[in-house]
Amino acid sequence: MRAMGRKRTLLLSLLLACSASCTNLQSSKSHDSTIHYDNQCLTINGHDMVIFSGAFHYFRCPQGLWPERFAKIKAAGFNTVETYIPWNLCEPQMPAGLNDYSKIDLRGVKAWLAMAEHYGFYIIIRPGPYICAEWDHGGFPGWLINKRPANFPAEKVWLRSDDPTYIAWCKHWYNAVCPVLASHQITHKSPGSTGIILFQLENEYDYSGMSEDVKMSCVKSLAECATANGIDVPLFTCWTHSIRGNTDPVLSKVFDSCNFYPGWGVDRTGADMQTLRTAQPNAPMMTTELQGGWFTSPGDEQVLRPDSDHYRHDLVPAQIQNLTLFASQNGDTITNYYMLFGGTNFADNAAQGISTSYDYSAPIRENGGVGEKYRVVQALGDFIRAHGPSLARTTLVDCQATTGSSDVTLVERRGTDGSRYLFIRTNQHQSSRYGTAHLKESDGTEITFDYELPAFGSKVLYLAPGQTDPARGQWFPQERPPIHRPTKLPHEVTVTDIHSMPDPTPLNWKPMANGTFLPELGIYDSRFVYYDATLGISEDDLNSATESPASIFSDNPVSNTTDSSSFSVHRSSLTLKIDHPSGDHMIVMLNGHRIEPIAQTGETYYSPGDYLHAGDNHLRLLYENTGFANIGGGLEKRAGVSNITLTQLPGNDRAISHWQMHLIQPTDHPDVALHEADQANDWHDVSTDNLEAAQLRQHQWAVFQTKVDVSSQQLNESWTHLLFSRIDDEGWIFINGQLIGRGLRWDQPVNCDARSALHAGSNTIAVVIHNNDNGGGLGPVSWAPDHEPSIGSVSIRYADVPEISPKRWPQKNSAASESLLNWYRLTFSIPATPRAVWVPWLMRIHAHGNGFLYLNGHALGRYWEDGKQTDYFLPDNWLNRTGKNELTLCLRAVDQGSAIESATLVPYKFYAEFRH
């Protein structure tokens, strides 16, 4: 995610050597005998390998807990671990220029690499620059958006493009991180040592929306930079189809891989594996992310329970075994679980819409505990440890197989020594299967055996070379013994020592100009920020305001059909316009009174009511950044309150309603689609008020259409722009058949000047929309002015909230309901546990308000009042086991103000262990 280091200049001969070691070889020979690959597997120091790996993100686990996590991974039979490196975590502050590496800190990743090697692991490294990972900004530093060139097209996404300025900053990151990683490659160590074996470029580039030319240009630049900085282990990508079979001299040395999260639909992954194999026949089959669980949003149910090994219904232990063996039977020899250990999104590092817990339902849970899923991967590890070299060289055998059940399949793979691996599985997850399987090979050899499979079961029958008698075979994976757990455990404790106080008045106020975003002010994270503004207004402007400005945006739907009076000039209303990113929150106080947003136009327009007066008015705002996206155009969110304006708007609702939708076939010609839709009679009414209802499914196309009557007087007014709050994902806007605009980014509103296409009378507005991913469609649409007049004068200053807790607490609780931000301190002690017994702890919190939590000075995560995460894992090494502990929260008031309703210290009893 973030980076550090200094650029190295290498000799041409070293460059050539690095290039040769990464080539998509057609044989198992390479210039570098340490590591190379062919179309079956990696060969390391002369040994063919099945890479059995799991994701363990060093930044999602406190360093003091790494040894325990590594020990559990080792005990489960894994030979490799994988991690991203988040650029934004390593370089949180903006450097002075491309050659300034003084802001980069790579001590965390260095320590993790050294410890992974100490525990005997190979390492798959994924330094981005884009990592996704449900991490804020997808790993990009918040300051990077300041580097976007002013002349880069506004409708296009700059991050992940091949713009020279963007590429230059990616090279800045690689110049820093790659030399550090180079020293940890196995090619730089003595034979038999562990270290980095694979290096990923970019991440899931197929989902970027970039053209093939752009993707190839960017990946090539990254590959050249990595090689120039000493990376000489194989380079790979994931979900970047254009890499497959690429003949470019640089890109031909990179191979692609897949990521799979199928739930019950394991069989669906087979087609993608075959496509990958066909497209790059000279590379091994690799799954960079094989489902180890799934992340949660704040509104999702918690998956980590204090008293049970709970999983999503389609992520039971049988699923991970079925998926793993299915990948193996298809020739996958490099397998990496995402996640093997999930961890925690500490501080405010979770992407927008992602919970603090990143438990992921992974085999090793967020708290370090293990259950049935761990026992399954441990058994798989035993199998791979015993048969990995043979499995790495197996090939699919052409044979006839019957199982007596339509949902049970049988596949044979054979090793070079004649070993047989008979993969038998069922895709039926409701009940068990048993029967007799019969296999006939092309040479006439027949093998018959009985099988028993649990629901969604999958097994392998191993027959030694020359052996065809199933009775002399061996079944894998072999079940591991149950986990013996302690029973004498402490009980939960109600926390009663709770102190509260309002946030102290900021002292670090700084002036800012209208039109300035937080990244430009040097604030790149998601902290709370205060704004203070003075609004100067004359007596004449004040007297022109209506008594009920909220009627401008009535909640009641109105007809699009209007007569001339509906656009006549009425007395103006003063409205407060505050610009900030959609989805973020604010509390707005005007002259000491809280004012609310006006409903139908989002959260940018506010009614000042009767609180304005002639002269200077005081405006105080608390801004809550709800986080940054980890994918798409939302990566480029410019957080903060960028403009505060007092303006005059006519007193009429301008929402455009009565939309209809007609589904169409995919097309390269939206005008043709529009013509075909005109002939259709299967239109149906849709509401654009709530796009979360997902009018369109993934990959669907549709035409949205409505009619409006426009008067001659409206054509002479300034309200002839169309404001589309959201066109998801891309769309073409027509008025009376004339194309007037296009939306290219689902996360950005589209403002079109419609005047030239409108005429007096009835007009047709139509939008052709293509939804690429997830749910999509059309959001609220309204008439907008070509400009909004600014009334009076505005001066603004800001102050952030950088402290993790107040330095002094009053003797008595003093949190006030009218305060914008309140602090709460919970003091507690950890109950004693029996000797040789380990139990992890959580704090269960029920509170009003949104905000952040801190444990003994460590930034623990984020609390959402409307979220379902109430349990927060307390890392062992952050706790004081023999004295007092402090959990501090800062909460902004929401509908019910802010308050701690209850707090309970709870042991994760199910995950307790005997430790000697």
Q: Which two tokens stand for residue 793?
A: 């004068």
- Phi and psi (nearest 5°) for 322? -60, -45
Looking at per-residue pLDDT, the higher value among 677 and 462 belongs to 462
Q: Give the C-alpha separation, 260 to 270, whole Å.
A: 10
Q: Give the C-alpha separation, 187 to 246, whole Å.
A: 25
Flag whether pLDDT at 327 surpasses 60.
yes
**pLDDT tens for residues 684-695?**
899 887 665 568
Task: Tell me how crowded residue 764 is: count the other CB atoms within 10 A of its CB.
Answer: 14
CA terminus-to-terminus distance, the chain: 37
Nearest to 643 by CA among 553, 517, 532: 517
Give the model's confidence band at 464: pLDDT under 50 very low, under 70 low, under 90 confident, else very high.
Answer: very high
Residue type at position 305? R
Beta-ladder partners of 435? 451
Q: Which two tokens stand for residue 750?
A: 């589209």
Nearest to 726 by CA among 685, 699, 692: 692
**pLDDT tens for residues 110-120?**
999 999 999 99
Q: What is the length of the chain?
A: 916
Task: Tell me how crowded residue 779 is: count the other CB atoms within 10 A of its CB.
Answer: 21
DSSP class per residue in 290-333:
EES-----TTSPP---SSS----TT-SHHHHHHHHHHHHHTTEE
- Provide the Cα torsion 88, 89, 93, 95; round to 10°: -70
**pLDDT tens for residues 395-422?**
999 999 999 999 999 999 999 999 999 9
Q: Look at the block and give the residue holding tokens 């004359």.
A: 538
Contact (CB, 8 A) for 867 and 298? yes
Beta-ladder partners of 847? 900
pLDDT at residue 603, rounded to an integer: 55
Flag whether pLDDT at 463 surpasses 90.
yes
Looking at per-residue pLDDT, the higher value among 791 and 555 belongs to 791
**Angle CA 470–473–474, to nearest 5:** 135
Q: pTM value?
A: 0.86
Pairing label, strands 605-606, 395-396: unpaired
Q: Look at the block and give the residue holding tokens 């179309």.
A: 39
DSSP state of 832: P
**pLDDT tens for residues 211-228?**
999 999 999 999 999 999
